[in-house]
Structure 1
Amino acid sequence: MDKFFHSVTLFVLFLGLLFHGGVVTSLKNHDGSEEWGYVQVRPKAHMFWWLYGSPYRVEDPLKPWPIILWLQGGPGASGVGIGNFEEVGPLDTFLKPRNNTWLKKADLLFVDNPVGTGYSYVEDSKLFVKTDEEAAADLTTLLIEIFNRDERLQKSPLFIVAESYGGKFAVTLGLSALKAIEDKRLKLILGGVALGDSWISPEDYVFSWGPILKDLSRIDENGLQKSKIIAKKIKQQIRNGKFVDATNSWSELESVISASSNNVDFYNFLVDAGSDSVILSTMKLGLFRERSMKRYSNYLNSVSSRSTLDGDLGELLDGPIKKKLKIIPKNVSWGGQSGEVFTFLEGDFMKPRINEVDELLAKGVNVTVYNGQVDLICSTKGTEAWLRKLRWEGLHNFLGKDRTPLFCGSDQKTKGFFKSYKNLNFYWILGAGHFVSQHQSSSLTVMHMF
C-alpha cells in the first residue's frame, strides 16, 4: 500500500475561476491516467469527481472508446467510494487490482452526487438539492467543466450508468445533458443511459414485494394482506402528490415486510438481512440516521467479500485515499453529510421517473435496463411493470419479442437473458441481487452494452 501511494507524483493541473463564478481544482497522477477534483457547481456547493483513463483504451474511429459515468444510489451513497472500490473501479478495498474492472471496456468517471455525498459538500445546508432535477442541473454543470476543456474526452461517447436511486438521477441528467448539448453549452456525445436495478417507479416496486415473498414462502397470507394495504396507501399518496407521506409509508411497509419475513434482505431475497458480514459493517458506519426509512441507504459497503475485521470503507476513504488525493478539505470527512442528502430529497424519493425514460426513448437515446434476479427492493417484477407503462411507440414490438439467452465464454450455463428493440434494451441477470456488478454474471451487461 505504501508503495502504491508513494509512487504517485501529484501536480496541480488546473486552478482558475470559470464563467459561472465557481472554482474548479483538479489533480493528476504522474502518468495522467487518473484525474480528480472539485467543481463548484453553485456558490459554496462543491462536487467531487474522479476520472480513470483505461489502459485498454483503443482509438478506433469506427467504434470510439466509451466513457462510463457511474451514478450511485441512496440517495446519498458515494460513487467515488462504493462504485469505485466496491464494484467496478480498478482497485478493490484492499487496493489490489480488480480482475473484472469495467476499465477493460471504458474509461470510468465516478462522481459523489448529489452535493453532500461522499467527498462532495456544501457550506450551507440550504444548498442541498431537494429534487432530482436540481441534482441533474449540478451534474450538467460538472460535465460542462470536465468535458468542455478536454477535446479528447469530447470524442468519446458518454454512457450514464446508474444503480438503484441513481437511475432517477441518470434519466433526469440525460435530458438535462441533451438540452445543454442542443444549446451548445456542453461539448459531449451522449452514448446512452443504463439503468441497473433502478428506483424508477417506487409504486410498482412496493406492490411487487408482497407477491414475490409470498410465492417464495418468505411471508404468509397475513403478511401479504398487510403489505397490500400499505402499498395501496402509498399509491393513493403518490396520486395525491403527498410524496413525503408516501416516503413515510414506504418506511412503514419495509418494517412490515421485515417483521413478516423474519428480516429478509431487501437486496437479496434469498438471505436474511445482516447475514452478510459486510452488511453488519455497513450498519457500523452509521452514515445515515437510525430510522427504517434509511434502510435503503444501508448498502454503503454493499456485498463485497471482505470481513468486517479487515476494516471498513469509511476508514479507507478517510485514511489512505484522502491522503493520496491531497485535495479534500481537512474539515470534510467522507460521507459526513450523506444523511442530510436523503433528508432533503424525501419529498422527491417516491416520485416516478417513467416519463423521463419515455422522453429519452422518443429522442432516440439508447436506454439499457438491467436487473438482478434476486433483488427485492428494485425487483425485476417491478421493473417489468413500469416498462409496460411506457408510451414509447416501439413498446408493443419490444414486448412481443422473444428473449435471447446469455452465456459467459465457453460455459454454456444460462447466465441471463436479453431483449432489444430499436433503442430499448433489457437484461435479466440470473443469480444477481441488487448489486449486479458484484456478481459473476455482471460482466455480461458491460460486454453487450458497448
Structure 2
Amino acid sequence: MWFYLIAFYLLTHNVQAQFGDHKQYSSYVTVREGAHMFYWLFYTTANVSSYVERPVVVWLQGGPGGSSTGIGNFDILGPLDLSLQERNYTWVKNFNVVFVDNPVGTGFSYVDDPQYLTTTNDEIALDFVELMRGFYRNHPEFEGVPLYIYGQSYGGKMAVDMGIRMREAEEAGTIRSNLRGIAMGNAWISPVDATLTWGPILLAAGLVDQRGYENIQRSAREAERLFNEGHFFNSTAQWGLTQSQVFAATENVDFYNILTKMPSRFNFGNIHEFSRDMMIRDMEYNPQRDMSLETIMNTLVKPALGIPEHVVWQASSRIVFDTLRPDFMKPVTEGIEKLLNETDIIVTKYNGNLDLICSTPGQILWMDRLNWPGAEGYKASPRNPIWENDRLEGYYKSYGNLRFFWINDAGHSVPRDNPYGSRAFLRDMTTYG
C-alpha cells in the first residue's frame, strides 16, 4: 500500500530529488577515480531562524558495509521509520543530520571496479575527507558550523581515523570544517578484547554452562593468538568460528541483545557468510512490516533521489566486508590516544548494556589501557547516574575530553533501543538533545 501512496505523491507533486516532506539534499561525491560516495542530508526541524544555528551530525553505520542512508536513516534515527511514519525521537529535531554510505561500495555508494574498494581504515578516512570537501562545496553555509561524527559498531572504528584525518585537513587549511567531537557507539574498537569477554558475560548471565564457556574461550584465545602472530585474515576467520561456539552453547543467542534469539531467517550453516551478515545486520528484524527496507530503498527512494539505474541498494555489502577482512580485527586504540594527546576533539564512547558483540566489559578493557595525560584522572573520576524523566537510564564518566556512557535497556543500537538515554551523550557533546 505504501508503494502506491508514495508513487502517487511523487507523481502529483513533481518532486525532484526528494523523498517525503522533510527538507533534504542528496548527492554523490567522487572521492577518487572510480569511487563515488553518496550522502543524504536532512536539515533540522528545530525552531531556529537559520539551519546553521544547529550542528551538523554525520551518522556512520557499521559492518563494514552497512548502509547509513537505509539502516541508520529508516531503522534508527531519521525522520521516517521503517513503516514510513514520522519518528518522534528523530535526531533531525535537533541537528542537521548527514547519512553517509561508506565505505565506497556500500548502500548507494559505488565503485566503477572492485579495485577501487578500500582495504584499510585509513583509506576509508581519506575518502571521508574528500566526501566532506564535496559536502562543503555543495553547502558552504555549513563551513565553520560545529561538526560531530557518530559511528555505530564498525562505524565507530571508522570514526576514529576520520577524526584524525579531518583535523589534519583543517590544520592544513584544505577544508573549512569545524570538527568538535566523535562518538563511538557499541564500537568495534579493540576486537580481540571484545571477543574475549563473550564467554564471561554469557556465563555470568546464566546463558551458558561451564563447558560452553570453556569452548567459547578456547576459540576466542585462538583468535587472539592468530592476531598476535600477525595472521589477521585467519584471526577474522577464527572470530567467526568463536561465534559458532556461542550459538552452539546458547541456542543462537542474539549478539545484538542477549535477551533475545537470532531471527530464524539467518543461515547458520556457512559460518563465514553468517558471521559477516550478522555483523553488518544492524537492523531490527520485523517480519510483520508491509515492506522490506530493500523494497523501500530500491523502488521508492532510488527513483525519488535520482540514483543511477545500475546501482542496486543492499542493506549490507558483502564485497565491502570481505575486502576489509584483513583489517577487521585490528584495533584503533592508538588513534584514540592520538586524538586525546594531540587534539581538543571530544571523544565519546557509549554502549548498550545488553550488547554482546561489542560488549561493555570489552570496551572498558581498552579504555583503561589508554595512554594519555588524563588516564589516571579518568580512572579516578566518579561514575554518575543518568536520569531522564525520573528514570535511571544509565551512567556516565568523564575526564578532559574523554567520556564513557553506560546506557541501560539497550543492545547494539542505543539510539533506537533507548532514545531517552541517548539524550545524555548528545547533550554532553553538543549541548542539544
**What is the TM-score when the length of structure 2 is the normalising length?**
0.91
1:82 aligns with 2:71: yes
1:401 aligns with 2:390: no
Q: What is the CA–CA distance in structure 2 between the aligned matches of 1:436 and 1:359, rounded to whole Å?
A: 26
User: How many residues are matched?
Assistant: 421
Structure 2, unaligned stretches of length 5 or more?
Answer: none
Q: CA deviation at 1:419?
A: 1.2
Pairs within 5 Å for 1:311-390: 311-326=291-306, 328-335=307-314, 338-362=317-341, 363-390=343-370
| 1:254/1:292 contact within 8 Å kept | no
1:439 aligns with 2:417: yes
Instruction: Pick which of 211-220 and 2-11 moved more.
Output: 2-11
| Map of 1:391 onto structure 2 | 371
| Map of 2:428 onto structure 1 | 448
| 1:78/1:118 contact within 8 Å kept | yes
Q: 1:64 to 1:292 in 2, by over 3 A?
A: same
Q: CA deviation at 1:7?
A: 6.6
3-state SS, counterpart of residue 375 of structure 1: coil
Q: Larger RCO: Structure 1 or Structure 2 (Cα < 8 Å, ≥ 6 residues apart)?
A: 2
| Map of 1:420 onto structure 2 | 398
3-state SS, counterpart of residue 103 of structure 1: helix
| 1:57/1:106 contact within 8 Å kept | no
Q: What is the CA–CA distance in structure 2 between the aligned matches of 1:182 and 1:298, rounded to whole Å?
A: 34
Q: 1:4 to 1:435 in 2, by over 3 A?
A: farther
| Map of 1:140 onto structure 2 | 129
Q: What is the CA–CA distance in structure 1 between the aligned matches of 2:164 and 2:126, rounded to whole Å?
A: 10
| 1:76/1:113 contact within 8 Å kept | yes
Of 303, 310, 313, the residue aligned with 2:284 is 303
Describe the superposition over 1:364-421 as per-residue Cα deviations: whole angstroms up to 9, x where unpaired.
2101110001000000000111101100111211111111111213xx2211111111
Q: 1:222 to 1:64 in 2, by over 3 A?
A: same
Structure 1, unaligned stretches of length 5 or more?
Answer: 12-26
**What is the TM-score when the length of structure 1 is the normalising length?**
0.88
Of 273, 290, 294, the residue aligned with 2:262 is 273
Q: What letter matches 2:107 in structure 1?
A: G
| Map of 2:203 onto structure 1 | 214
3-state SS, counterpart of residue 98 of structure 1: coil
| Map of 1:54 onto structure 2 | 44
| 1:161/1:195 contact within 8 Å kept | yes
| Map of 1:150 onto structure 2 | 139
Of 173, 192, 196, the residue aligned with 1:184 is 173
Q: What is the CA–CA distance in structure 1 between the aligned matches of 2:362 and 2:400, rounded to whole Å?
A: 22
Describe the superposition over 1:147-190 as per-residue Cα deviations: whole angstroms up to 9, x where unpaired.
14533211311100000001111001111111111111111000
3-state SS, counterpart of residue 123 of structure 2: helix
| 2:64/2:280 contact within 8 Å kept | no
3-state SS, counterpart of residue 314 of structure 2: coil
Q: What letter matches 2:41 in structure 1?
A: L
Describe the superposition over 1:75-105 as per-residue Cα deviations: whole angstroms up to 9, x where unpaired.
1000000000110111112222110000122
| Map of 1:23 onto structure 2 | none
Q: What letter matches 1:303 in structure 2?
A: E
| Map of 1:16 onto structure 2 | none
Instruction: Pick which of 220-229 and 164-173 moved more.
Output: 220-229
Q: What letter matches 2:400 in structure 1?
A: K
Q: What is the CA–CA distance in structure 2 between the aligned matches of 1:414 and 1:431, rounded to whole Å?
A: 10
| Map of 1:19 onto structure 2 | none
Q: 1:147 to 1:298 in 2, by over 3 A?
A: closer
Percent of pairs with identical residues = 36
Q: CA deviation at 1:59?
A: 6.0
Pairs within 5 Å for 1:9-28: 9-10=14-15
| Map of 2:153 onto structure 1 | 164
Instruction: Pick which of 338-347 and 222-231 moved more.
Output: 222-231
| 2:394/2:408 contact within 8 Å kept | yes
Pairs within 5 Å for 1:201-240: 201-240=190-229
| 2:126/2:165 contact within 8 Å kept | yes
Q: CA deviation at 1:298?
A: 4.7
| 1:148/1:154 contact within 8 Å kept | no
3-state SS, counterpart of residue 420 of structure 1: strand
Q: What letter matches 2:311 in structure 1?
A: V
| Map of 1:20 onto structure 2 | none
Q: 1:232 to 1:64 in 2, by over 3 A?
A: same
| 2:240/2:271 contact within 8 Å kept | no
| Map of 2:104 onto structure 1 | 115
Q: 1:314 to 1:289 in 2, by over 3 A?
A: farther
Describe the superposition over 1:166-217 as per-residue Cα deviations: whole angstroms up to 9, x where unpaired.
1111001111111111111111000100000000000110010000001111
